[in-house]
Homo-oligomer: A and B are copies of this chain.
Amino acid sequence: MTLINSQFLKVVKDEVGSKIEHRVNIFKTLNPDVSLIRLDSGDVVRPLPPCAVNALVKASKEMGNASTFKGRAPAQGYSFLIEAIAKHDFRSRKIKIDTDEIFINDGSKEDISGIGDILCRDNRVGVIDPVFQTYVESNVIGNRAGELGDSGQWSHVIYLKSGKETGFMPEFPVVRPDVIYLCYPNDPTGCVMTKPVLKSWVDYAIKNKILLLFDATYEAFITDPDIPHSIYEIKGARRVAIEFRSFSKSAGFTGLHCGYTVIPNDIEGYSFSAESSARLNTLWMRRQTIKSYAPSYIIQCAAASLYTEEGRREIRDNVNYYMENASVLRQALQRAGFNFWGGENSPYLWVESPTGSSWDLFDRLLNTCHILSSPGERFGPRGKGFVRLSAFANQSKVILAASRLSELDM
């Protein structure tokens, strides 16, 4: 009899998803001719930048020619892409990241959820709440989360308190986790960490021997020059932090999948009895050779094209487009008198429901404004009372959404 990983039974139902679907179905039945404006998505709508398309076409043709065909990619990724990343994303900010510390991947979700493979199951995990649910769910199925309590929180996960009182900045936990996930600019709140705050977390991690998993997926959306783009801008971070980056949102690669993970050689991990230690970088390299591949040559070529002068300009245009959307939404929310966070250094806006119920605001936006939003419960129990609006939408629709939003009388 084949035994299953019964942890899966704990996450097999997506209750919030079903609740949203139910409401949307009713709306569509009652309003068959109305088209909804989707501001609920983390997926992009703008096409790939021309540099990436050109690179894909060129590389595809190379793959069709015996003299330029490429079979298996090097396990860590092609050096032309790794070199471009090291130069433009790190050396340009005076950060020293060696090329053997960068692993190209098929999209950051795979590595964020896969990193648990190299960590002991007994590590206790700390997350902010609300949070991107992959951090939690990958630990549920990895048997690190314990049981789901009535509060919606998992018994073995350490939740870092983070509410509107602190502008959604997390507080240091009472019980020490072994691993902490941080995501800035944050999904879903859109908040960012200043350099002093990020430094306090790096210092805390060094002092308490904690591994930080820093998700910088949205760094390209930072507009404020004082906000760090990489955790490695903080001294000492090389000893305690892994960073995840992605081309998904900045360059519209959600349909291509490419990102990278930085694992500095300075991070050591220990076996349970502490009698052996190993570099996490070495373990991850081995994990990749057993379980994964670097992305295809053509997609790595597309990613490398983003670092050319033309590519960087096209990414800026892309980011600016979405940030204009965010600005339009901000102004509308202000006019309507909402409390909200984000949208300045992030494509996400986190809006407080005047009644304290996410679902009230979700329903109001759906039925009055014909806007689909993400209820805060999608991001954990502490998301209750908020909805997330996303700037990843067509500008004409965002302008229409904004005009309806600004007239909303809650």
Name the one of B1, B57, B73 contacting A255, with C-beta atoms under 8 angstroms.
B73
Q: Mark A195-234, 1 if CB is under 8 A from B, else 0.
A: 0000000000000011100000000000000000000000
| Contact segment of A19-27, A146-154, A295-303 | A295-303
Q: Does A30 lie at the interface of the complex (its beta carbon under 8 Å from any beta carbon of B)?
A: no
Chain B neighbourhood of A69, CB < 8 A: 45-48, 252, 255
Name the one of B45, B53, B120 contacting A63, with C-beta atoms under 8 angstroms.
B53
| Contact segment of A95-103, A108-116, A335-343, A345-353 | A108-116
Q: Does A174 lie at the interface of the complex (its beta carbon under 8 Å from any beta carbon of B)?
A: no
Question: In whole angstroms, what is the CA distance A121 to B8 when docked?
Answer: 13
Q: Does A371 lie at the interface of the complex (its beta carbon under 8 Å from any beta carbon of B)?
A: no
Interface size on A (CB < 8 Å)? Answer: 84
Q: Does A122 lie at the interface of the complex (its beta carbon under 8 Å from any beta carbon of B)?
A: yes
Asked whether A178 lies within 8 Å of B4 as measured between CB atoms, the reply is no
Name the one of B107, B123, B296 contacting A299, with C-beta atoms under 8 angstroms.
B296
List A residues at the B interface (Cβ < 8 Å): 1-6, 8-9, 11-12, 43-50, 52-53, 56-57, 60-61, 63-66, 68-73, 106-107, 109-110, 113-114, 117-123, 134, 137-138, 141, 178-179, 209-211, 252, 254-257, 267, 269-272, 274, 276-278, 280, 282-283, 286-287, 290-293, 295-299
Chain B neighbourhood of A276, CB < 8 A: 6, 9
Asked whether A2 lies within 8 Å of B293 as measured between CB atoms, the reply is no
Asked whether A293 lies within 8 Å of B43 as measured between CB atoms, the reply is no
Task: List 9 A-B pairs, minimum CB-CB distance, nearest first.
Answer: A3-B120, A53-B64, A4-B269, A56-B60, A6-B271, A43-B71, A2-B211, A47-B69, A113-B291
Asked whether A296 lies within 8 Å of B141 as measured between CB atoms, the reply is no
- Residue among A45, A49, A64, A137 with max Cβ neighbours from chain B (10 Å): A64
Asked whether B45 lies within 8 Å of A53 as measured between CB atoms, the reply is no
